Amino acid sequence: DAKTTQPNSMESNEEEPVHLPCNHSTISGTDYIHWYRQLPSQGPEYVIHGLTSNVNNRMASLAIAEDRKSSTLILHRATLRDAAVYYCILRSRTRDNYGQNFVFGPGTRLSVLP
């Protein structure tokens, strides 16, 4: 399975943009890039996902490199509630078109300073 590499931790100031990087140099053409986050003592929650093009939603933006070997999750204005562990995950399609192999790494712990 293709793996991802993320920094262990990052810090941001409140109300400033945050760019969370993810490297996935062995990504295959059918791998989707997902981002989830896990707030303290909670289950993970979906943030955003994409395949080739940049994506925006109400929570964040996802910028995908042209060669797809890296991506960046962008939080436009960090709040204290955004302090969490952020996971970058590649979701592959198996031969029967179902992506059971959903692998979470250790993620990036984001601290937001007031």
Partner 1 sequence: NAGVTQTPKFRILKIGQSMTLQCTQDMNHNYMYWYRQDPGMGLKLIYYSVGAGITDKGEVPNGYNVSRSTTEDFPLRLELAAPSQTSVYFCASSYLGRAEDEQFFGPGTRLTVL
Which residues contribute to the site for partner 1 (CB under 8 A)? 30-32, 36, 41-46, 49, 51, 87, 91-93, 97-107
Question: Which residues does 18 contact at the CB level (< 8 Å), separation at least 6?
Answer: 10, 12, 74, 75, 78, 82, 110, 112
In the chain, DSSP finds a helix count (H) and a strand count (E) of 0, 9
Give least dist CB 90 to partner 1, A.
Answer: 9
Name the residue nearer to partner 1 (CB basis): 71 or 87: 87
**Beta 108-113 vs 84-91: how paired, if at all?**
antiparallel
Name the residue nearer to partner 1 (CB basis): 13 or 30: 30
């289950």: which residue's tokens? 43
Name the residue nearer to partner 1 (CB basis): 31 or 82: 31
Give least dist CB 107 to partner 1, A.
Answer: 6
